[in-house]
Amino acid sequence: MPRWEHFSHGADIGIRGIGESADEAFEQAALALSAVVADISTIAPKERVEVRCDAPDLELLLVSWLNAIIYEMAVRGMLFGEFHVAVSGHSLTGTLIGETADPERHHAAVEAKGATVTALKVARQQDGQWMAQCVVDV
């Protein structure tokens, strides 16, 4: 089962996505990022935003992907609760689905400033599952 989780970092927060493929792990990591900001169950799927990212390697591609989401959240004033990713080599296309942030309904706790290369890892684990993680500065 694809899943996401948070892990501890002294000042900020670590996000981790796990799935059958790199695509799924990236989607789950994006959900973990959204869950840093707000309760994702409150975010309605009203609008779609398409993004493209590329990087020299798969790990930096995760950072680019998360930073693209942070950027779209910031400039559109939106929250996203659903993601679709297709990784191809060291590039990806992604779809972000969500709605305009509403302070009264979403009670967003904290802005994400940027995804970092701290605790950055994208790898297939021994059980065959893909894992994608890093620390986010908030």
Partner 1 sequence: MNRQSLTRHSDFEWWIEPTGKMRVPAVIYAGEHLIDEMDEKVREQITNVATLPGIQRAAYAMPDAHWGYGFPIGGVAAFDPKEGGVISAGGVGFDISCGVRALHSALTADEIEPLKEELAEALFESVPAGVGSRGAIRLSELEMDEMLRGGAEWAIGRGYGKPEDLERIEEHGCASGARPECVSHEAKKRQAQEMGTLGSGNHYLEVQRVAEIFDSTSAAAFGLKVNDIVLSIHCGSRGLGHQVGTDYLKTMVIDGYRPIPDRELACAPIWSELGQHYLGAMRAATNCALANRQIITHLVRGAFAQVMPNADLALLYDVSHNTCKIEQHSVDGASRELFVHRKGATRAFGPGHPDLPPGLRDAGQPVLIGGTMGTESYVLVGTGESERLAFSSACHGAGRAMSRTQATKLWHGRQLVDELRAKGVLIRTRSFRGVAEEAPGAYKDVNAVAEAAEHAKLARRVVRLVPVICVKG
Q: In the complex, which residues of this chain contact partner 1 (CB under 8 A)? A: 6-13, 37-38, 55-56, 60, 63-64, 67, 70-71, 74-75, 77, 101, 103, 107-111, 113-118, 120, 135, 137-138
Beta bridge partners of 49: 96
Nearer to partner 1, 25 or 136 (CB): 136
What does the block give as tokens for 138?
């908030």
How many angstroms separate the CA atoms of 22 and 47, rounded?
24
Find the shortest distance in angstroms from Cβ 128 to partner 1.
Answer: 26
Nearer to partner 1, 64 or 83 (CB): 64
Radius of gyration of the chain (CA): 14
The nearest distance, CB 4 to partner 1, in angstroms, is 13
How far apart (Å, rounded) are the C-alpha atoms in residues 78 and 132? 24
CB of 56 to partner 1, least distance (A): 6
Closest listed residue to residue 85, CA positions, set 1, 37, 19? 19
